[in-house]
Amino acid sequence: MTKARKLVITVAALAVAAGLAGCGEKDQVIAYHQGKYQGKPDTPPWDNAPSASIYTTSTWTKGDKSSWETAIKSRTQYQNEYTRVE
């Protein structure tokens, strides 16, 4: 392989890498870390047991963020009457 060809391939690879870098999505929600703001710490909602409220119908595992998110997502679907009434 000639030097010129190597250079062309390198430049092309760099151009592709730079182009694809624009497709990435930055996290738009600022992550909350205690100490980043001056106030008191807050407890995430998933750190509460579902039994803490007597009226809730959602169930999740205490401390498990993903199970709480699943519970909230399924509850959100109650707002979609196209999936409720068939």
Of the pair 2, 43, the CB lying nearest other proteins is at 43
- In angstroms, what is the minimal distance from the CB of 13 to other proteins? 32
CA angle 57, 72, 81 (to 5 degrees): 85
**Spatial separation of the C-alpha atoms in residues 34 and 28, rounded to whole Å:** 18
Residues that bind other proteins (CB under 8 A): 27-32, 36-45, 47-48, 50, 52-53, 55-60, 65, 68-69, 71-73, 75-82
Query: For residue 16, how many other CB atoms are within 10 A of its CB?
Result: 10
- In angstroms, what is the minimal distance from the CB of 20 to other proteins? 23
